[in-house]
Amino acid sequence: MPILPIDAGRYGTKEMKEIFDDQKKIMYQLEIEAAVAKSQSEIGIVPKSAAQNIAQMAMSGRISVKRVKQLEAKSDHDTAALVEALSEICKVTAKPWIHYGLTSNDLVDTSNSLQIRDSLGIIEPKVARLAMILAKLALRYKDLPAVGRTHGQHASIISFGLKFANWALEMSKHVERIEEIKKRILICKTLGVVGTGSLMGSKALEVQKRVAKKLSLYPADVTTQVVPRERYAEFVFSMALIGATLEKIAVEIRNLQRTEIAEVAEPFKKGQMGSSAVPVKRNPVKSERVTSLSKLLRSQISVSFENIPLWHERDLSNSANERFILPTTSILLDDMLETMTRILSELHVNEEKIRQNLELTNGQIFAEFVLDALIKKGVPRFEAYRDIQRIAFASSENGTDFRDAVKDDASISSHLTEDEINNVFVSEKRLGASRQIITNVYNKVRKSCSRFS
């Protein structure tokens, strides 16, 4: 009976969850056994006939989760059970050479690397795809003036596309980060009990190098019995960092979907219910889901950091929790990427409401540009600042239009003509370098992410 929502199918894609399936884990570890035996035979450590039989049986598909668990019930050791299951189907002449020179964590850590390798193979293209979706949205709305908000208050005018450009570039940076961390986290370790390669001696590093190449991993330079847990901490942190960017996007969508703002809305399919009690509601539940999962994803970081300081060459204080944090990290992020991609692919942008919101302060959003116009006429900054502030506060209290108040105040009109004042209050002229910024971002994102399209 499924207990966790991940097990029940509520979160995570089938392709991602299959990577962490029990049978798949066994297949990864058997693949390592096969690669080790082949590599050892290539340089004369193991007889070629024995290595051939070990590799053939390891990849035969004959070793099941059920059989491994039966053997584990006796030995109380999952890796020993797997090795015993392999030994059961190998030739007598091959049996002595199974798992030769290895220790449990050679299989555990290297199979973790294989799982991480394949999970990144799913995650990275999705990150790149999302970056491109955002970049295209940035281009689409680059000429649309919108309210820029700081501290939750109207501050100045931005291009609505600039929101998407900011997110697009960060997502493309995550693609770069994934590429960068691979050489540090996709580690192959076959150096035995305490990391010396004791039984294989001077040939140990060559075996490891060959195994790593066969598995598309990077050979460890130095280890104890385990791969340093800094590597896993970096993986978890990097995935949580992507999650935090997704959460940042989700929070902005949730805020912009507020009834009072209503500039965007999540897709809402036919038959969907926003509330069990209020029929008219269209809640941003998908963005809230991303926000919620990001909190859980981020919590995995602290556990991964706690696993770094182990006793001497190793202990087991990391082992049990890593069975949770590595799959949980990958599955949660994959689900978040899927959800955010659906949101942004069908995001409803209310351009009319965006334009209406520009007028909510009766023109006060142009205050920055009035100040700039006065400075360019030679008015000292703080003198101009105080005059504009006085006029703005008074017009707010009186409910009058800020542009009219500016025209009527001698401290302003003595420096600016009516045409000059009117020219200030044109939102399309107040986008600064937004268009060029967005174009630059689009080109950068396309360059770094196009290979995944």
- What the chain holds in terms of domains, given with CATH numbers, is 18-97 (1.10.275.10), 104-267+275-357 (1.20.200.10), 364-424 (1.10.40.30)
**Between 274 and 382, the higher pLDDT residue:** 382
Q: pTM (2 decimals)?
A: 0.94
**Residue 7: its pLDDT value, please?**
82
Question: Which of 192, 163, 315, 325 minimizes the C-alpha distance to 250?
Answer: 163
Average pLDDT over residues 157-176: 98
Query: Residues 381-432: pLDDT tens digits?
Result: 999 999 999 999 999 999 999 999 999 999 999 999 999 999 999 999 999 9
pLDDT digits (tens, 9 = 90+) for 109-123: 999 999 999 999 999
Share of the chain above pLDDT 90, in %: 93
174 is catalytic: no
pLDDT in tens, 2-40: 788 888 788 999 999 999 999 999 999 999 999 999 999
Q: Which helix (H) or strand (E) holds 159?
A: strand 153-159
Residue with tokens 């979706």: 133
Other CB atoms within 10 A of residue 367 CB: 21
Choice among 49, 275, 299, 450 that is catalytic: 275
Spell out the residues 6+ positions from residue 168 whose beta carbon is closer than 8 angstroms to its own: 131, 132, 134, 135, 137, 138, 441, 442, 445
Active-site residue, 151 included: yes
Catalytic residue among 151, 202, 276, 414: 151
Q: What is the pLDDT of residue 4?
A: 83
What whole-number distance in Å separates Cα of residue 3 and Cα of residue 381?
A: 64
| DSSP track, 314-333 | --STTHHHHHHHHHHHHHHH
Average pLDDT, the chain: 95
Written as six digits, the tokens of 31 are 């693949």
pLDDT at 146 over 80: yes
pLDDT over threshold 80, residue 353 = yes
